[in-house]
């Protein structure tokens, strides 16, 4: 059975449609699509389609991303089908027919074919690391080994949904300040390039000394107008240099330490990392993944090199016989309440449940902190924008008032 990339015309609407589907041959594919109300116009085996488009630049693929929520939904549906007694290959075929995301559909089709050929589900998923992370693959492998695949898939779906929800909370916290900063920069730019030159041209006809703040405003406006290209090059060069620096081991470590030390956002970043650590480790341990392997996988989801270093050192200490809580506490990076709850979980034999409790508690703290930051940043950004606008207006109006007095006299 081959996988075909096809194009066709929908009988009902007359619109062009396309997709990926498996069939024994083109004739069988045409018959199946006709039943679905599609007239086949083109069909290529997947390997041939890839060769044909190898030299074509597909800009759309940069916008076609498989989100964690897409994978979570697919995982939950697969778990439901397996719990209902539907065989794995048949369950995957049912999901492929209803998936809308072409990237995920293609990946699941290839995975289904490998499983049908005798490969394990975990091994087949490894071919798509951009969609299925090492955490996903290792949990599936543990579920297959223990015979509890449907249960593990259910936990995976819950984990991915929780991570997606947490990410949305953090994004909402950062979106408003970023938007306000961009609006402030755009407002100042327009005033410097359009408004200030027209108003300050009035001063040229009067031989009167201008205040220092007005001269500074005129100078800034002249720089914006005359050297915008240089400012653009400096900004691009600075961004490129920052990216190069952050890509180095030392630079990334310093940058991540600086992020954790930020006055408002540092605590938020730490809370998000602690929640990820606790929920990921809990999910892996519940699924039967060994502790050392679980720690290695968990390290990679933290998103902060400094915290990854702490977890890596803790993994080495655990390998030498220490508990999880002791090296984490020794690092000073994890909050005391977290290490204390982990220590209690280890002593009571309920580590997975205690880690889950930590994750839930920190998710709630993240939500509370996001709401508090949003309510605090809104008036701060309004005051900042008002202050900048007032400063520009003051620098323009004061000399105008002096000129009016000069004319009156």
Q: Do 115 and 258 lie in a common domain?
A: no
Per-residue model confidence (pLDDT) at position 383: 83
**Residue whose C-alpha is closest to residue 20's, from 87, 113, 121:** 113
Considering the domain architecture, whether residues 186 and 306 belong to the same structural domain is answered as yes
pLDDT given for residue 46 in this prediction: 65
Rounded percentage of the chain residues whose pLDDT exceeds 70: 90
Report strand pairing: 2-10 vs 16-23.
Answer: antiparallel
The whole-model pTM stands at 0.65
Say if residue 177's pLDDT is above 50.
yes
What residues form DSSP beta bridges with 23?
A: 2
Instruction: Dump the DSSP string for 390-401.
Output: HHHHHHHHHHHH
Q: Which of 132, 163, 194 is the last residue of a domain?
A: 163
pLDDT over 80 (residue 371): no
Give yes or no: residues 221 and 263 share one domain.
Answer: yes
240 and 293 together in one domain: yes
Residue 168 lies in a domain: no
Residues 243 and 303 in one domain: yes
279 shares its domain with 135: no
Cα radius of gyration (the chain): 29
pLDDT in tens, 125-149: 988 888 888 878 888 888 888 788 8
Query: b/e per residue, 67-93, with b = 16+ CB within 10 A?
Result: ebebbbbbbbbbbebbeeeeebeebbb
Please indicate, yes or no, if residue 119 is contained in any of the structural domains.
yes
Does residue 61 form part of some domain?
no
99 inside domain:
yes
Q: Same domain, yes or no, for 351 and 210?
A: yes
Q: What is the pLDDT of residues 253-298, one digit of tens each?
A: 899 889 888 887 888 888 888 888 888 888 888 888 888 888 888 8
Last residue of a domain, one of 163, 182, 203: 163
Whether residue 169 is contained in a domain is answered as no
Q: 342 lies in which domain range?
A: 174-408
Average pLDDT over all residues of the chain: 81
Whether residue 332 sits in one domain with residue 299? yes
Q: Do 49 and 94 share a structural domain?
A: no
> Number of structural domains, the chain?
3
In the predicted structure, residue 406 carries a pLDDT above the cut 70: no
> 307 and 198 in one domain?
yes
Distance between CA atoms of residues 153 and 289, nearest Å? 14
Residue 205 shares a structural domain with residue 260: yes
- 8-state DSSP, 64: -
134, part of any domain:
yes
Closest CA to 157 of 94, 233, 72, 74: 72
Residue 62 lies in a domain: no
Indicate whether 203 belongs to any domain. yes
What the block records as the tokens of 290 is: 């060994």
Is there a single domain that holds both residue 201 and residue 347? yes
Which DSSP helix (H) or strand (E) runs through 182? Answer: helix 149-190
């Amino acid at each position: 059975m081959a996988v075909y990339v096809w194009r066709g015309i929908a009988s009902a609407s007359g619109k062009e449609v396309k997709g990926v589907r498996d069939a024994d041959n083109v004739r069988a594919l045409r018959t199946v699509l006709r039943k679905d109300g599609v007239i086949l116009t083109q069909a290529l085996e997947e390997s041939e389609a890839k060769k044909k488009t190898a030299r074509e630049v597909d800009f759309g693929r940069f916008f076609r991303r498989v989100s964690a929520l897409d994978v979570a939904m697919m995982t939950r549906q697969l778990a439901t089908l397996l719990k209902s007694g539907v065989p794995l290959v048949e369950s995957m075929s049912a999901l492929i027919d209803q998936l809308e995301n072409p990237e995920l559909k293609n990946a699941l089709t290839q995975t289904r074919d490998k499983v049908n050929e005798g490969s394990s589900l975990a091994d087949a998923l490894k071919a798509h690391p951009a969609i299925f992370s090492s955490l996903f693959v290792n949990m599936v492998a543990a579920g297959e080994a223990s015979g509890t695949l449907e249960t593990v898939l259910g936990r995976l779906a819950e984990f991915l949904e929780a991570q997606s929800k947490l990410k949305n909370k953090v994004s909402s916290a950062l979106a408003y300040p970023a938007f306000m900063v961009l609006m402030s920069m755009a407002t100042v730019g327009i005033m410097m390039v359009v408004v200030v030159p027209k108003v300050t041209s009035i001063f040229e006809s009067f031989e009167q000394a201008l205040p220092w703040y007005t001269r500074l405003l005129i100078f800034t406006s002249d720089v914006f107008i005359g050297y915008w290209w240089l400012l653009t090059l400096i900004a691009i060069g600075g961004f490129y240099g920052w990216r190069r620096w952050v890509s180095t081991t030392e630079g990334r470590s310093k940058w991540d330490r600086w992020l954790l030390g930020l006055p408002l956002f540092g605590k938020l970043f730490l809370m998000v990392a602690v929640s990820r650590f606790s929920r990921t480790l809990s999910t892996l341990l519940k699924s039967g993944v060994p502790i050392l392997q679980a720690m290695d996988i968990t390290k990679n989801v933290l998103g902060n090199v400094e915290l990854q270093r702490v977890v890596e050192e803790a993994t080495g200490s655990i390998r030498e016989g220490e508990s999880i809580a002791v090296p984490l506490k020794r690092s000073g990076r994890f909050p005391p309440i977290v290490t204390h709850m982990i220590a209690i979980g280890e002593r009571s034999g309920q580590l997975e449940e205690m880690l889950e409790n930590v994750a839930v508690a920190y998710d709630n703290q993240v939500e509370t902190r996001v709401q508090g930051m949003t309510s605090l940043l809104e008036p701060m950004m309004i005051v900042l924008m008002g202050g900048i606008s007032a400063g520009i207006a003051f620098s323009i109006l004061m000399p105008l008032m002096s000129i009016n007095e000069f004319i009156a006299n």
